[in-house]
Amino acid sequence: MAKLKKKEKNVKKNIKPIKTEKADEAKNFKVSKKTPQVLRGFKDILPGEQRYWDLLYAKVANLTTDYGFERIDLPLLEETSLFIRSVGKETDIVDKEMFSFVDRGNENVSLRPEATAQIARAYINHGMFNLPQPVKLYYLGPMFRYDRPQSGRYRQFYQFGVEVLGDKQPVLDAQIIIMAYNFLTSIGLPVNVQVNSIGCNNCRKEYKVQLVNFYKSQKHDLCEDCKERLPKNPLRLLDCKEEKCSAIKEDAPQIVDFLCDECKSHFMKVLEFLEELEIPYSLNSQLVRGLDYYTKTVFEIWPQAEQAALDKQPEPGAEDKKAQIALAGGGRYDNLVEILGGRPTPAVGFSIGLERVILKIKELNLAVPEKEKRDIFVAQLGESAKRKAMKLYETLRSEGFKVAECFAKDGLKNQLEVANKLGVKYTLILGQKELSEGTILLRDMDAGSQETLNFNKVVKDIKKRLEV
Ligand code: AMP
């Protein structure tokens, strides 16, 4: 008894009280009486949409198995500082788009806006540097960005991504690009790879000086954000989506002219691999990607039709419109693991936005497999027949038949309507009469003919007809 009391006391000691102001917040919360609606920028994925997702998930499974990647699932919530340290303070993602809040334990947390930073964290946390290198991981799941919602841009969206950690060879950059390219083209999407190198910290030093000089001379025409970013992170200006900044960007110095020998040679090798494999690519000197952690190779994959349309459109901002329709993006990030406290670990990866891929599939009317068809429908009339029919349904299912039912409906007409809609070959009908005679009716749905079968032999009989 004394022991139990002590235990209870300990348990009580460990329960942290919810902070009073937080509890009050909940108490004082004004609950809306309106029917709740899905939040802006969020979406329900309804059953009718699932075949697109099934297709993409199947492609992910095939591709990652082929290339030897293993799945990792990461939490949706992380310490806010993880993203500030990796993606970067001056980036749009961290600066404007994070869903961040203080939790009940006073921790600053954020819904993940992307997964590469998490992968680097997990690599360090789980000592993956002790595994044979490179470590090849893939992820699939929702990301969250408080962006302005529009077509192809949501506040919750799904990404499929791969990361290779622990090797710096250019062949890996090329293979990552090829994987993303293969994923999209295997679905039937005509795409083009945009590729650039943003060098390493060494070659960026001189480039940054030149960039600052260039932008200083144009300062009065820049947007307010860019004016502020110029002294802190001039590279970010190349990523600005404001129209007036895009126009200025056209004449900015190009990073490729400043690459050090090592970065230049790395980039050339990546391009040679792409050429060897006949991957259509365009060099895009303005592509810098909006995240701090990238080094050397960066790339995006754009839908071909839109790229062509925008190429014809000479107005400023066309480049940024293209970036907004990017289906995939990625690159090398050789310093990220070290920035987060791990040992130097070169790495490269990509992520693909699945909603954007689905939008394209629909737009181009590409073939998507229909839901697998059912072969047999079990219909019943009357309470005792329903019991028997349920049992027959379970037997057929466990024997491997593709079988359907609608036990919630009692009338035969209604049940046959469902069977018709499902496009089954046969409907088995069990009524009071059949039950007492030990038989069952088999209706051939195409021919509209019916025959009586022996109930005890029905499984065998159907098996023969369908050759299961
Ligand atoms: P990022 O992580 O910004 O490099 O984006 C990689 C890919 O994720 C993009 O190419 C898009 O396909 C997709 N993506 C990024 N942001 C969004 C968004 N707000 N809504 C839908 N898809 C997005």
Give a three-class secondary structure readout of the chain.
CHHHHHHHHHHHHHCCCCCHHHHHHHHHCCCCCCCCCCCCCCCCCCHHHHHHHHHHHHHHHHHHHHCCCEECCCCCEEEHHHHHHHCCCCCHHHHHCCCEEECCCCCEEEECCCCHHHHHHHHHHCCHHHCCCCEEEEEEEEEECCCCCECCECCEEEEEEEEEECCCCHHHHHHHHHHHHHHHHHHCCCEEEEEEECCCHHHHHHHHHHHHHHHHCCHHHCCHHHHHHHHHCHHHHHHCCCHHHHHHHCCCCCHHHHCCHHHHHHHHHHHHHHHHCCCCEEECCCCCCCCCCCEEEEEEEEEHHHHHHHHHCCCCCHHHHHHHCCCEEEEECCCHHHHCCCCCCCEEEEEEEHHHHHHHHHHCCCCCCCCCCCCEEEEECCHHHHHHHHHHHHHHHHCCCCEEECCCCCCHHHHHHHHHHHCCCEEEEECHHHHHHCEEEEEECCCCCEEEEEHHHHHHHHHHHHCC
* Residue carrying the six token digits 């259509």: 280
Contact 130, 98 (CB under 8 A): no
CA dihedral 282, 241, 177, 50 (to 10 degrees): -120
CA distance 125 to 165: 14
Question: How many angstroms separate the alpha carbon of residue 197 from the centre of ligand 1?
Answer: 20
In a domain, 246, yes or no: no
Q: What's the CATH number where 119 sits?
A: 3.30.930.10
Indicate if ligand 1 lies below 6 Å from the C-beta of 157. Answer: yes
Per-residue pLDDT at 321:
53
Residue whose Cα lies nearest atom 17 of ligand 1: it is 153
Per-residue pLDDT at 6:
53
Given 335, 363, 391, which residue is the final one in a domain?
A: 363
Q: Are residues 351 and 383 in the same domain?
A: no
111: left (phi over 0), alpha (psi -120 to 50) or beta: beta
In a domain, 208, yes or no: no
CA distance 452 to 445: 15
Q: Are residues 268 and 401 in the same domain?
A: no
Q: Are residues 115 and 163 in the same domain?
A: yes
Q: Are residues 157 and 264 in the same domain?
A: yes
Q: Are residues 328 and 402 in the same domain?
A: no
Question: How many angstroms separate the alpha carbon of residue 33 from the centre of ligand 1?
Answer: 35
Find residue 368's DSSP bridge partners: none
Q: Are residues 337 and 388 in the same domain?
A: no
Given 333, 363, 393, which residue is the final one in a domain?
A: 363
Question: Which domain covers residue 157, as residue numbers?
Answer: 47-200+260-363
In a domain, 69, yes or no: yes
Report which of 343, 357, 397, 348 is spatially closest to residue 374, judged by C-alpha positions. 397
Q: How many CB atoms lie within 10 A of CB 368?
A: 15
Q: Best mutation site among 114, 292, 351, 352 for ligand 1, i.e. most ligand atoms within 8 A of its Cβ?
A: 351
Q: Are residues 438 and 312 in the same domain?
A: no
Given 305, 338, 363, which residue is the final one in a domain?
A: 363
Q: Are residues 79 and 166 in the same domain?
A: yes
In a domain, 36, yes or no: no
Q: Are residues 68 and 131 in the same domain?
A: yes
In a domain, 382, yes or no: yes
Indicate if ligand 1 lies below 6 Å from the C-beta of 204. Answer: no
Relative to the CA of 145, which ligand 1 atom is closest? Answer: 19
CA 321 to chain centre: 21
Q: For each of the chain's 468 residues, which pLDDT tens digit applies? A: 445 455 445 444 444 444 545 555 667 778 889 999 999 999 999 999 999 999 999 999 999 999 999 999 999 999 999 999 998 887 888 888 999 999 999 999 999 999 999 999 999 999 999 999 999 999 999 999 999 999 899 999 999 999 999 999 999 999 999 999 999 999 999 999 999 999 998 998 889 899 999 999 888 889 988 888 888 888 888 878 788 888 888 889 999 999 999 999 999 999 999 999 999 999 998 888 877 789 999 999 999 876 666 555 545 555 445 446 899 999 999 999 999 999 999 999 999 999 999 999 999 999 999 888 999 999 999 999 999 999 999 999 999 999 999 999 999 999 999 999 999 999 999 999 999 999 999 999 999 999 999 999 999 999 999 985
In a domain, 412, yes or no: yes
User: Count of domains in the chain?
Assistant: 2
Q: What's the CATH number where 389 sits?
A: 3.40.50.800
Q: Are residues 142 and 101 in the same domain?
A: yes
Per-residue pLDDT at 296:
96
In a domain, 134, yes or no: yes
Find residue 440's DSSP bridge partners: 453
Q: Are residues 353 and 390 in the same domain?
A: no
Report which of 332, 347, 344 is spatially closest to residue 291, judged by C-alpha positions. 332
Question: How many angstroms separate the alpha carbon of residue 270 from the centre of ligand 1?
Answer: 24
Residue whose Cα lies nearest atom 4 of ligand 1: it is 329
In a domain, 253, yes or no: no
Q: Are residues 346 and 399 in the same domain?
A: no
Per-residue pLDDT at 12:
43
